[in-house]
Structure 1
């Protein structure tokens, strides 16, 4: 009975976490978006959106935060998460010469990496917030991207959770060359800046850490796109740092 109660409490805790990340800003309702230059494609039974760069240098797979759902429809329609820091900067990555896959919740990451590798390598997985946890699960499942970028990540237990990138991976040997990009003033309770140093120490030379500061925030919810957690007001710098890492 005690074990059952613990499992129930753990499940309720996960639901509470997802709710806090997914809760919309007061007074805002997301409208469906048709992704410019995009096409709806199906990978291992899950529909995502692919944007092709004219002369690609490589391919980027973007994993959103929150509950991970994009609600991808036909005709490259995006039903939610358009304000997420990575999703809203999709065109900036294309402008830098990268094919972009907006990966729907449930996308098989090993299959997605293989799919994008056929189009153009290197393949870089870029994840944010709860998406960093899903990226770790994908690595454990056998995904082999050329590089990995973790922004506002659930990195180690000092980040604020017992279920983190570190605990999912179990060993740093599963990490490709990795960039951790974090905001010094991130106040989201599951991605606290204190979690970065223990993760870097655990991962050793596989991980490069870069910090950002400043920007702007409305602080309605410290785990949202409009807070330091979502690098509000710093999109250009964020993309520039990620691209610089990808081309090294």
Structure 2
């Protein structure tokens, strides 16, 4: 686990980062914005497997932040966290073989949740149309809509609307505000 922000000063919160399907590569939305979270006083820990174990070892308050496919592991390991952030995730059953709803099983299994989604997300597995039904099902999820252009490349990739194509700062600000409010 990496606690880079903790060495730079006293962080106000901890974020457990769970990257998308591509893993912890520099282009992943969470990895490329890790320093921006740390600059806001949030220690970051990259989940390397068991998210629940990372939550248990983290300084409080702790929020699990999952990106795209990483939202599944984030939801599964967040029950003891102070919050959960679902970034461009497959929220409801449908085109995705798995969904956050299916992984969680019950709204009571989720901590206070923030959904960060782009209304222009063209990824078939993470349609914006799943956000409102998930919010209704959960009964407690907040939504931060972050618009950007269509971007480039794979519609499910990090530089498309799915990854906030050039509007990272707005998405990071919403995530940081949620984390620091825990």
TM-score band by shorter chain is over 0.9
1:198-230 alpha-carbon deviations (Å, 9 max, x no partner): 1111001x2001211124611x20010010001
* C-alpha displacement of 1:67: 4.7
Name the structure with the higher strand share. 1
Q: CA contact under 8 A between 2:18 and 2:67: conserved in structure 1?
A: yes
* C-alpha displacement of 1:157: 1.8
Q: 1:227 aligns with which of 140, 160, 169?
A: 160
Which residues of structure 1 form unaligned runs of 5+? 1-47, 71-80
Q: Which residue of 2 aligns with 1:148?
A: 84
Larger relative contact order (Cα-Cα within 8 Å, sequence gap ≥ 6): 2
Q: Which residue of 2 aligns with 1:137?
A: 76
Q: Are 2:140 and 1:200 aligned?
A: no
1:52-102 alpha-carbon deviations (Å, 9 max, x no partner): 33121011111100154x3xxxxxxxxxx1110111111111100111112
Q: What TM-score, normalized to structure 1?
A: 0.69
- Cα RMSD after superposing both structures: 1.5
Which residues of structure 2 form unaligned runs of 5+? none
Q: What secondary structure sits across from 2:36 in the alignment?
A: helix
CA distance in 2, matches of 1:221, 1:162: 19
Q: 1:60 aligns with which of 15, 21, 32?
A: 15
CA distance in 2, matches of 1:180, 1:155: 9
Q: CA contact under 8 A between 1:188 and 1:223: conserved in structure 2?
A: yes
Q: What secondary structure sits across from 1:52 in the alignment?
A: helix
Q: What secondary structure sits across from 1:161 in the alignment?
A: coil
1:166-204 alpha-carbon deviations (Å, 9 max, x no partner): 011110001111000100010111001111111111001
Q: Which residue of 2 aligns with 1:170?
A: 105
- Would you say how many aligned residue pairs link Structure 1 and Structure 2? 179
